[in-house]
């Protein structure tokens, strides 16, 4: 570890000395089995050559080390690309009766409290995440701190405050006395017509959003009595999509109900999040428009379980969680059979961080083959992010995001719930049993 890096760690409470940057010129990863994100079967006895944070070559056999090379022995492990979660909320984590915290914590408190969530996510094998919704710029601060090297965490693409309609899901003033807050507008991410839709989008981009997140339908955990109704007009969504595209950005649409999802798909969003009540018409539209689906089965199961705990959620949330939660996995099975493009996502934060790989288990239980599930979290996530030239597969020229597990995930997908090796951009953050 360099003196400069050591000083930064000592001066910032969020830094953990989990691993130091590799000092060798090259790292040779000897992989007993390589699931590269491209082929339909693993390759055996392969060497990944890593230099300056990138994979420079993938070589058959175990390449002999030269002077100064760092050999990482993963000969008994299954090696994969770093996993990617397209729907997280790293700025917080579910807890019983947690609603008051938004009034008790300053944004710096929230950012500091979130730093362990980032570490946990990375060490569980998720090297890239799309973070879809946070208040007070906390997600921007976390992303920037990771990019500077101040804290340990996955690569983050963030949305900031979700765009919502007045009184809709993601209106932060829902259920509170009107004399406590002014009626929110575009500055708070609240849309009321086409012009405010454009302004809210421009403000999100100006503030640093990598993605635009909209709440195209009602939601489960917001303090309102409905979970399905559409909440944007198609014209409003189309303006948001076009405005974002002018700046090279894409739009992700939270949608439980089918009608709101269809409006969002026709308007050109890149992904539908959750999709609990998607129907055959919605699936056909998604295939027609090339829209990705991020199902978040884990979130549905988790909120249904939490709703059974007395006092865990507000009384308005409980019936919605109990009704919506059990539906998502069955809808996923239908959508997969229909041939919809699927990108892995969990809604982590709605459940405890670090358990993201449970989603893979639920996807396989619903009929998705293990290799397809893995590719949904590697190849397809990179494609959704427009980063397939950099991420998503283990090929020469790609960023060296590499993980490993001890057992064959193609035989038991649950193996990915126990990641024993994590490398992000050529730096080893976890290595249980290998030499480095």
Ordered by start, the domain boundaries in the chain are 3-82+393-431, 83-384
Supply the pLDDT for residue 70.
95
The SS3 of residue 23 is: coil
Is the Cβ–Cβ distance between 353 and 340 less than 8 Å?
no
> Helix %, strand %, coil % for the chain, to 5?
35, 20, 45
Q: Which two tokens stand for residue 169?
A: 């899901």
DSSP 8-class letter at 226: -
Q: How far apart are CA 303 and CA 299, in angstroms?
A: 6
The values of phi and psi at residue 2, to 5°, are -70, 160
* The two structure tokens encoding residue 366: 């619903």
Tokens of 15: 């830094």
CATH topology classification for 83-384: TIM Barrel (3.20.20)
Q: How far is CA 150 from CA 11, 12, 14, 122, 130, in A?
A: 9, 7, 7, 15, 19
Rg (CA), the chain: 21
Assign 67 a pLDDT band (cuts: 50, 70, 90). very high
- Are the beta carbons of 78 and 408 closer than 8 angstroms? yes
Instruction: Provide the CATH number for the domain formed by 3-82+393-431 in this structure.
Output: 2.30.40.10
Question: Which residue did the predictor score with more confidence, 220 or 76?
Answer: 76
b vs e for 11-31, b when ≥16 Cβ sit within 10 Å of the residue's Cβ?
Answer: eeebbeeebeebebebbbbbb
**Tens-digit pLDDT profile for residues 74-130:** 999 999 999 999 999 999 988 876 667 777 778 888 899 999 999 999 999 999 999
Q: pTM score, two decimals?
A: 0.91
Q: Which residue would you say has higher pLDDT here, 196 or 100?
A: 196
**pLDDT level of residue 144 (50, 70, 90 thresholds):** very high
Cα angle: 45, vertex 417, 162; to 5 degrees: 120
Q: Is 106 exposed, middle or buried (0-12, 13-18, 19+ CB in 10 A)?
A: exposed
Closest CA to 372 of 341, 331, 400: 341
pLDDT digit string (tens) for 329-362? 999 999 999 999 999 999 999 999 999 999 999 9
pLDDT at 23: 44
Cβ-contact 265, 272 below 8 angstroms: yes
In this prediction, residue 399 has a pLDDT band, given cuts at 50, 70 and 90, of very high
């Amino acid at each position: 570890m360099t003196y400069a890096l050591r000083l930064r760690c000592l001066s910032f409470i969020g830094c953990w000395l989990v691993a130091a940057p590799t000092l060798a010129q090259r790292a040779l990863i000897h992989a007993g089995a390589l699931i590269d994100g491209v082929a339909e079967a693993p390759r055996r006895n392969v060497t990944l050559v890593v230099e300056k944070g990138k994979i420079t070559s993938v070589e058959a056999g175990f390449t002999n080390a030269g002077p100064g090379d760092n050999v990482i022995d993963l000969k008994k492990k299954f090696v994969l690309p770093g996993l990617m979660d397209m729907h997280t909320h790293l700025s917080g984590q579910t807890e019983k009766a947690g609603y008051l915290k938004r009034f008790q914590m300053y944004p710096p408190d929230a950012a500091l409290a979130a730093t362990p969530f980032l570490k946990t996510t990375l060490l569980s094998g998720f090297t890239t995440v799309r973070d879809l919704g946070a208040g007070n710029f906390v997600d921007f601060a976390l992303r920037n701190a990771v990019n500077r090297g101040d804290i340990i965490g996955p690569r983050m693409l963030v949305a900031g405050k979700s765009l919502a309609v007045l009184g809709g899901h993601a209106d932060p003033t829902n259920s509170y006395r009107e004399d406590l807050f002014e009626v929110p507008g575009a500055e708070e991410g609240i849309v009321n017509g086409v012009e405010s839709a454009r302004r809210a989008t421009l403000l999100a981009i100006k503030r640093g959003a990598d993605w635009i997140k909209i709440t195209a339908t009602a939601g489960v955990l917001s303090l309102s009595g409905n979970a399905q109704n559409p909440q944007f007009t198609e014209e409003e969504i189309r303006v948001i999509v076009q405005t974002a595209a002018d700046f090279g950005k894409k739009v992700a649409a939270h949608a439980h109900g089918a009608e709101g999802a269809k409006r969002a798909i026709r308007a050109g969003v890149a992904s539908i999040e959750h999709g609990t009540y998607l129907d055959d018409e919605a699936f056909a539209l998604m295939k027609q428009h090339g829209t990705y689906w991020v199902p978040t089965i884990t979130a549905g199961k988790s909120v249904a379980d939490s709703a059974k705990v007395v006092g865990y959620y507000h009384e308005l949330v409980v019936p919605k969680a109990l009704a919506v939660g059990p539906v998502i996995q069955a809808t996923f099975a239908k959508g997969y059979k229909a041939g919809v493009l699927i990108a892995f996502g969990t809604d982590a934060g709605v459940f405890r961080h670090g358990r993201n790989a449970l989603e893979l288990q639920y996807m396989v239980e619903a009929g998705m083959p293990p290799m397809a599930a893995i590719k949904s979290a590697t190849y397809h996530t990179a494609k959704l992010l427009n980063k397939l030239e950099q991420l998503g597969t283990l090929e020469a020229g790609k960023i060296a995001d590499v993980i490993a597990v001890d057992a064959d995930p193609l035989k038991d997908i649950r193996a990915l719930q126990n990641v024993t090796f994590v490398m992000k951009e050529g730096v080893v953050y976890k290595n249980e049993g290998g030499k480095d």
